[in-house]
C-alpha cells in the first residue's frame, strides 16, 4: 500500500532545497505551494517568467496534481496556453511517480524557447523595418521603375500633343503663297478704293498758274559765268 503522505512530504523537502528562492508554501492541508520559473536572460537581459501553483491530490502521485499559472511576466496568451498543455502532457506521462521537478523542468525549457522566439521575431521585425526604410529611400530619390515609366510616357504624350498642335498652326508653302497673294490683292484693292475717293481741288492748280515766277533767263543782266564764280567763291 502506497504511503501518499510520506511521498508527498519527501518531495516537498526536496523541492524546497532545489528552489530555495522561488519555492513558497501556501497551505499544509491539502499541501499547496508555488514555484517561480524564470527563463534564461534574452536580448537586453529581458526574460519571461511564470509562477506555477501546485496542489497535491489525495492520491498523488498516482493521480496528477492540480496545477495552474499563478502569475506570469512577458508572456502572451498563446504562451500561457502552450504551457498548460505541456503540463497536462507531462503529468499524464509521469503518473505513479513524483513529478513536480519534471514538470518545472519542462516549463523552464519552454520559457527558454519562448525567449529565443521573441529574439528571432524582433530580429525579423528589425530587418523588415530596415528593408522598408531602404525601399522608401529608393522611392524618394529615384522613384519606382513603374513610376518612372509612367512619367516618361506622360512626357512623350505631352510632346506629341505639342508637335501635333504646332503642325496644325504651321502653314504649308501653298497656304503661304495664297496668303501673300491675298495680301497683294487686298493692297491693290485698297489703293484703288483710295484713288476713287480722292477729290482734287482744281483751284490749287489755278493759283499756281497765277503765281509770277521769276526766271533768271529773262533777266537781261543775267550772266551764267557770274553765278559759277559766286559758287566757286
**Confidence class for position 57, pLDDT limits 50, 70, 90:** very high
Judge whether residue 229 has pLDDT over 80: no
Nearest Cα neighbor of 56 from 45, 70, 67, 48 is 67
Judge whether residue 17 has pLDDT over 90: yes
**Helices 77-93 and 100-141, axial angle in degrees (round to 10):** 150
Residue 137 has a pLDDT of 77
**For the segment 82-137, what is each residue's pLDDT rounded down to a tens digit?**
999 999 999 999 999 999 999 999 999 999 999 988 888 888 888 888 888 888 87
**For the segment 168-197, what is each residue's pLDDT rounded down to a tens digit?**
665 555 555 555 555 455 555 655 554 555
For the chain, give me the number of helices (H) and strands (E)? Answer: 7, 4
Judge whether residue 4 has pLDDT over 70: yes
Judge whether residue 40 has pLDDT over 70: yes
Residue 144 has a pLDDT of 55
- Whole-angstrom Cα distance, residue 137 to residue 112? 38
**Confidence class for position 158, pLDDT limits 50, 70, 90:** confident
Residue 38 has a pLDDT of 94
Q: CATH number of the domain at 4-116, please?
A: 3.10.110.10
Residue 21 has a pLDDT of 94
Amino acid at each position: 500500500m502506497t504511503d501518499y503522505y510520506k511521498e508527498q512530504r519527501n518531495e516537498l523537502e526536496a523541492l524546497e532545497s532545489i528552489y530555495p528562492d522561488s519555492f513558497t508554501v501556501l497551505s499544509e492541508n491539502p499541501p499547496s505551494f508555488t514555484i517561480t520559473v524564470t527563463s534564461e536572460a534574452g536580448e537586453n537581459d529581458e526574460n519571461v517568467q511564470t509562477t506555477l501553483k501546485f496542489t497535491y491530490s489525495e492520491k498523488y502521485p498516482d493521480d496528477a496534481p492540480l496545477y495552474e499559472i499563478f502569475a506570469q511576466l512577458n508572456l502572451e496568451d498563446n504562451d500561457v496556453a502552450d504551457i498548460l498543455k505541456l503540463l497536462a502532457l507531462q503529468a499524464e506521462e509521469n503518473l505513479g511517480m513524483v513529478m513536480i521537478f519534471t514538470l518545472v523542468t519542462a516549463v523552464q525549457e519552454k520559457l527558454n524557447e519562448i525567449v529565443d522566439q521573441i529574439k528571432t521575431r524582433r530580429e525579423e521585425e528589425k530587418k523588415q523595418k530596415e528593408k522598408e526604410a531602404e525601399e522608401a529611400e529608393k522611392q524618394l530619390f529615384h522613384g519606382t521603375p513603374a513610376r518612372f515609366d509612367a512619367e516618361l510616357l506622360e512626357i512623350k504624350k505631352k510632346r506629341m500633343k505639342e508637335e501635333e498642335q504646332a503642325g496644325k498652326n504651321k502653314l504649308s508653302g501653298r497656304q503661304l503663297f495664297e496668303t501673300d497673294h491675298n495680301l497683294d490683292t487686298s493692297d491693290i484693292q485698297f489703293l484703288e478704293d483710295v484713288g476713287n475717293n480722292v477729290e482734287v481741288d482744281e483751284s490749287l492748280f489755278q493759283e499756281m498758274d497765277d503765281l509770277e515766277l521769276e526766271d533768271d533767263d529773262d533777266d537781261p543782266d543775267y550772266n551764267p559765268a557770274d553765278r559759277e564764280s559766286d559758287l566757286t567763291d
